[in-house]
Amino acid sequence: MLPEEKAPSPHSAQTKWKLCIMRHGAAVTRETEGYSDDSKRPLTPDGKRKMQGIAKGLRRLGFAADWIVSSPLVRAVETAEIIAESLGSDVALDFSNTLSPGGSPEALLGFLGKHADRKRVLVVGHEPDLSELAARLIGAGRRANLAFKKGGCCLIRFDEFPPRSPGQLVWWLTPRALRKMA
């Protein structure tokens, strides 16, 4: 278990706020018969299997979440459900249009800010929005090349929420690395 991942004491004034940003797993293509509507494309069977391995890798890292928030698109919902099931039944799972394709970092932070008491949050969404969000949150700007592969994720830690200064990038892991940790 990484020291950064130990569950903070709820009574500690030094409790950090942690945001894990994850891209959804591999979904059926738009060309697949019956899935021309982008919002309804599910994970492929292989995408589900790989996400289960990624979830095991996150558990092995000692990752814990108080709250999972997902885009309402089917592939993101299925990804979030796999992660939630792996982490345990006490993890709250919600959906927000702020994580739909084209959602802004400001809108997402506003949504999350309504529940700032939840200190360990995982969001599941889409590219290129997640890259923009991560770059903004660590102070890297729009030019940073922080692309997420399907199922990839990063963990950013903040001293306060909403963040007033750049967060600290704790880790950035590819889906392959997470599956190897499983």
41 in a structural domain = yes
Q: What is the pLDDT of residue 13?
A: 43
118 in a structural domain = yes
Q: What is the pLDDT of residue 141?
A: 75
Structural domain for 103, as ranges = 16-181
Q: Which CATH number fits the domain that encloses residue 62? A: 3.40.50.1240
1 in a structural domain = no
Predicted TM-score (pTM) of the model is: 0.90
What's the total number of domains in the chain?
1
Res. 14: pLDDT tops 70: no
Res. 5: pLDDT tops 90: no
Cα–Cα distance, 72 to 81 (Å, whole number):
12
- pLDDT single digits (tens) 92-107: 999 999 999 999 999 9
- pLDDT single digits (tens) 113-140: 999 889 999 999 999 999 999 999 999 8
Question: pLDDT exceeding 90 applies to what percent of the chain?
Answer: 75
142 in a structural domain = yes
Calculate the alpha carbon distances from 83 to 3, 16, 123, 170 in Å: 21, 22, 11, 20
154 in a structural domain = yes
Q: What is the pLDDT of residue 142?
A: 67
Res. 7: pLDDT tops 90: no
Question: Cβ distance 91 to 68 under 8 Å?
Answer: yes
Cα–Cα distance, 73 to 80 (Å, whole number):
11
Largest Cα–Cα separation, the chain: 54
- On average, the pLDDT of the chain sits at 89
19 vs 160, which has greater pLDDT? Answer: 19
